[in-house]
Amino acid sequence: MSDLVEVAGPAGMMFVPAWRVNPVAFTPEEQAEIRCRTFTGEQVAELSAEQVIETLAAARRIRAHTDAIEAHALARLDQLRGQDRYVADEAALELRVSRHTAA
């Protein structure tokens, strides 16, 4: 019987035979972001002070990346709508923010 290795994938954590796993080198920052995306409140409550700092930094990087994607998506929507004056209204409704913030 083969040894099983725990791996993270798009569907979550799974166990795969060790011979099927291709090692992928993640930076410490990438590892922290992967863990941060899967944490529950109970898991965060068990972290050490150092791990909490690492998690805060990872959460900030994830948020910055998400904000950048949102900004690109808003610009693309504006382009697709021909810079219609109601784009900000449409986006504000979806994002649950003010028209001014969406604009």
Residue-wise pLDDT for 25-83, tens only, equals: 788 888 889 888 888 889 999 999 999 999 999 999 999 999 999 999 999 999 999 98
Report domain extents, the chain: 39-98
CB 51 within 8 Å of CB 57: no
pLDDT of 77 = 94
Q: Which residue shows structure tokens 């998690």?
A: 55
Is this prediction's pTM over 0.75?
Answer: no
Q: Does position 12 have pLDDT exceeding 90, yes or no?
A: no
Give me the helices (H) in the chain, please.
28-38, 41-44, 49-80, 87-95, 99-102
